Chain A
Amino acid sequence: MDNTKETMSNIEKTLSDAEETPSDDLSIVNPKTPLSALAHPHKDYSYAFLDEFAKREIRRRILKAIAIPGYQVPYASREMPMARGWGTGGLQVTLSLVGPGDIVKVIDQGDDDSVNAANLRRFIARMAGVKTTANPLEATLIQSRHRIPEERLREGQALILQVPVPEPLRHIEPSMAKTREMHADADYALMWLVLYEQLVRYGEFVTGASYPVIVNERYLMSPSPIPRWDTPMLHQAAHLTILSAGREKRLYAVPPYTDVHPLEFDDVYFQVESQADRVCRLTGARQKFMNEIPQPDGGSLFSLSDTGYAGKLLKRLQDQDVVIGETYYDENGGFYHAGYLKS
């Protein structure tokens, strides 16, 4: 991202150079000069697809989102060469942050190689000329749908989540005018009624993804459809998380080292999905988020959802040299912020 700054300052320099030339003095322009000589040289696309004004607007919205953690900032979602709902929100944020020195990782449901991820990665690489990777430790920008990598992200990294429905109050209040009032008043009581109903009907909290959280003790936020397993990873994280919804034209952020607390009762606590008794069939890993693979006999096999992490584990099994970072959950399923998950 430092290179982005460099690119930006180069652009600003070019602009200021242009201002210094007395271009407003029309007398020096030879009327016979062709118009093309006065215009910028022709390029098929701007760097990273979006034009500079679009990128600047999105960067400003991101700054506002970081300044007010969890607050949904409206932005002018641009038309992208793919359909809304396929990650255009995350893509616009990635493209406005990316610079030639960045290394980009794109995941979809934890998988680096699914169609959506491969498609987005190829587009970003082609438009920004950046290196891509499957290794979350190496990446500077990670665009993701539905998962956060199992290995801990660090300072300086940005996680960009694609969001379908940014409004956590959507299913209890259909009117956007009303939900904005509710956010302004921090009037989130009805969310606990939803939890009450779940406990009465099912005996447990059944919201599987997008589990609502309170960010920085103020705004209620939908953490995009990441599983409950990933929700605690946002709490006091070293990395920056930006969440962006292209169709809904809203983006919001969790800055580094910010409190994120899932909604719970004083006597019934938030729980992550239990991964106990699940063993990855390829790597033998335990206590990580697993994909369930139903078998013809009615049973199930499991494999790691995070393929980047699984790939590393496989390499280590083959005695190859590989650096595996510390994970959010240890071998016994303990979360790295001790005491954060109550039982």
Chain B
Amino acid sequence: MPAISNPDQLVLDEPQLISRQPLLLARGMVKHYGAVTAVAGVDVTVYPGEVLGIVGESGSGKSSLLRLLNLEEEPDEGEYYLNIPGYASANLLKVDRFHRRELRINHIGIVYQYPHLGLRMRYTSSGNVAERLIMAGERTFSVMRQAASELLSASEFPLERMDDLPCHLSGGMQQRVQLAKAMALKPQLLLLDEPTSGLDVSVQALVLDTLKRLQRLTHVTIIIVSHDLGVIRTLADRVMVMRRGHVIETGLSDQVLEDPQEAYTQQLVHAKL
């Protein structure tokens, strides 16, 4: 170590995990479906601008956890905080229906694995994107039109098809519409539930490209759920490995994916076709 001539003048940045408030803080999330325990006491912390990957096999509770974080379902136990104006100290699991709706519209965006969960298949693609603006109170047609085309082109959707119904679009395009819809109101938190699982490999790569570019541009905080380690490796800064409703390993993605500590994670990393 080089000698420091005057240690008093040296100013070190505080480690970010100390200086920055986490954007998302969930503690002890538990969710049962009848006799099945989908999520068994999971803690999640995500910092602003970070991409957290959640991996695990089917049935490990990762999608259930995402639904809880999207305020779609109420957990049986737990606390959930988002550091956003007006809600900083409120346990979001306790807020009323009206504010939950406001939070889900303005502050959380989600892309589902199955487009029919996130899109209205009988409304036009641009209408699907405009819906978010309408929900937030926009009532000027020309503004909606303009915003929809900007958002769709930001997610690299071919604009000549913006007024087609999602059911007439390819899987990759449907995911792009979902992405444009999720990003319409510039949410602080973007949840991705297996966003590329239904797509073939080349389209998958293109959609991942778009996601990466959007993240670089907007610095939106992302939680991405996937069973595909390739997707996680491409996008995520940090990884959480889930099994049977528990988090069994967590750490930086390079660290976890290169040097897995848990036996299960080792299996997962080495299980490749």
Chain A contacts to B: CB under 8 angstroms = 181, 185, 187, 189-190, 192-193, 196-197, 199-201, 265-268
Pairwise interchain contact B134-A193, C-beta atoms closer than 8 A: yes
Partner of A197, one of B97, B98, B127, B137: B127
Measured between beta carbons, the chain B residues less than 8 angstroms from A201 are 124, 163
Partner of B127, one of A189, A200, A267: A200
Per CB-CB distance, the 10 closest pairs between chain A and chain B, nearest first, are A265-B141, A266-B140, A192-B134, A189-B135, A268-B141, A189-B134, A266-B139, A197-B127, A193-B131, A267-B140
- 17 A-B residue contacts at CB 8 Å? A185-B97, A185-B98, A185-B101, A189-B135, A190-B134, A192-B134, A192-B139, A193-B123, A193-B130, A196-B141, A199-B141, A200-B124, A265-B139, A265-B140, A266-B139, A266-B140, A267-B141
Let me know if B152 is at the binding interface, CB within 8 A: no
Measured between beta carbons, the chain B residues less than 8 angstroms from A197 are 123-124, 127
Measured between beta carbons, the chain B residues less than 8 angstroms from A185 are 97-98, 101
Partner of A196, one of B101, B134, B137: B134
- With both chains docked as a complex, state the minimum distance between the C-beta of A188 and any C-beta of chain B, in angstroms: 10
Let me know if B19 is at the binding interface, CB within 8 A: no
- With both chains docked as a complex, state the minimum distance between the C-beta of A197 and any C-beta of chain B, in angstroms: 5
Q: How far is the CA of A201 from the CA of B139 in the complex (A)?
A: 18
Residue in B134, B135, B140, B163 whose Cβ sees the most chain A Cβ within 10 Å = B134
Cβ contacts B96-127/A at 8 Å (1 or 0 each):
01100100000000000000000000011011
Measured between beta carbons, the chain B residues less than 8 angstroms from A189 are 131, 134-135, 137
Q: How far is the CA of A187 from the CA of B144 in the complex (A)?
A: 19
Let me know if B9 is at the binding interface, CB within 8 A: no
Give the residue name and chain of the A residue nearest to B162 (CB).
Answer: A200
Chain B contacts to A: CB under 8 angstroms = 97-98, 101, 123-124, 126-127, 130-131, 134-135, 137, 139-142, 144, 163
Known: A192-B134, A265-B140. A181 touches B97 (CB 8 A): yes
Pairwise interchain contact A200-B163, C-beta atoms closer than 8 A: yes
Q: How far is the CA of A193 from the CA of B97 in the complex (A)?
A: 22
Q: How far is the CA of A197 from the CA of B126 in the complex (A)?
A: 9
Q: How far is the CA of A326 from the CA of B130 in the complex (A)?
A: 43
Measured between beta carbons, the chain B residues less than 8 angstroms from A268 are 141
Measured between beta carbons, the chain B residues less than 8 angstroms from A190 are 131, 134
Measured between beta carbons, the chain A residues less than 8 angstroms from B135 are 189
Measured between beta carbons, the chain B residues less than 8 angstroms from A193 are 123, 127, 130-131, 134
Q: How far is the CA of A196 from the CA of B142 in the complex (A)?
A: 10
Q: How far is the CA of A70 from the CA of B127 in the complex (A)?
A: 28
- With both chains docked as a complex, state the minimum distance between the C-beta of A185 and any C-beta of chain B, in angstroms: 6
Pairwise interchain contact B139-A200, C-beta atoms closer than 8 A: no
Give the residue name and chain of the A residue nearest to B124 (CB).
Answer: A200
Give the residue name and chain of the A residue nearest to B139 (CB).
Answer: A266
Measured between beta carbons, the chain A residues less than 8 angstroms from B144 are 196
Q: How far is the CA of A14 from the CA of B211 in the complex (A)?
A: 79
Q: How far is the CA of A190 from the CA of B131 in the complex (A)?
A: 7
Pairwise interchain contact A200-B126, C-beta atoms closer than 8 A: yes
- With both chains docked as a complex, state the minimum distance between the C-beta of A189 and any C-beta of chain B, in angstroms: 5
A185-B97, A193-B130, A265-B140 known; 13 new pairs, CB 8 Å cut-off, are: A189-B134, A189-B135, A190-B134, A192-B139, A193-B134, A196-B127, A196-B134, A196-B144, A200-B124, A201-B124, A265-B139, A265-B141, A267-B142
Measured between beta carbons, the chain A residues less than 8 angstroms from B127 are 193, 196-197, 200
Q: How far is the CA of A181 from the CA of B96 in the complex (A)?
A: 13
Give the residue name and chain of the B residue nearest to A185 (CB).
Answer: B98
Q: How far is the CA of A293 from the CA of B135 in the complex (A)?
A: 43
Give the residue name and chain of the A residue nearest to B140 (CB).
Answer: A266
- With both chains docked as a complex, state the minimum distance between the C-beta of A151 and any C-beta of chain B, in angstroms: 34
- With both chains docked as a complex, state the minimum distance between the C-beta of B50 and any C-beta of chain A, in angstroms: 32
Measured between beta carbons, the chain A residues less than 8 angstroms from B139 are 192, 265-266
Give the residue name and chain of the A residue nearest to B125 (CB).
Answer: A200
Q: How far is the CA of A199 from the CA of B134 in the complex (A)?
A: 14
Measured between beta carbons, the chain B residues less than 8 angstroms from A200 are 124, 126-127, 163
Measured between beta carbons, the chain B residues less than 8 angstroms from A267 are 140-142
Measured between beta carbons, the chain A residues less than 8 angstroms from B137 are 189
Measured between beta carbons, the chain A residues less than 8 angstroms from B130 are 193, 196
- With both chains docked as a complex, state the minimum distance between the C-beta of B168 and any C-beta of chain A, in angstroms: 13
Q: How far is the CA of A200 from the CA of B123 in the complex (A)?
A: 10
Q: How far is the CA of A196 from the CA of B126 in the complex (A)?
A: 9
Measured between beta carbons, the chain A residues less than 8 angstroms from B140 are 265-267
Measured between beta carbons, the chain A residues less than 8 angstroms from B126 are 200
Q: How far is the CA of A199 from the CA of B144 in the complex (A)?
A: 12
- With both chains docked as a complex, state the minimum distance between the C-beta of B221 and any C-beta of chain A, in angstroms: 26
- With both chains docked as a complex, state the minimum distance between the C-beta of B224 and any C-beta of chain A, in angstroms: 28
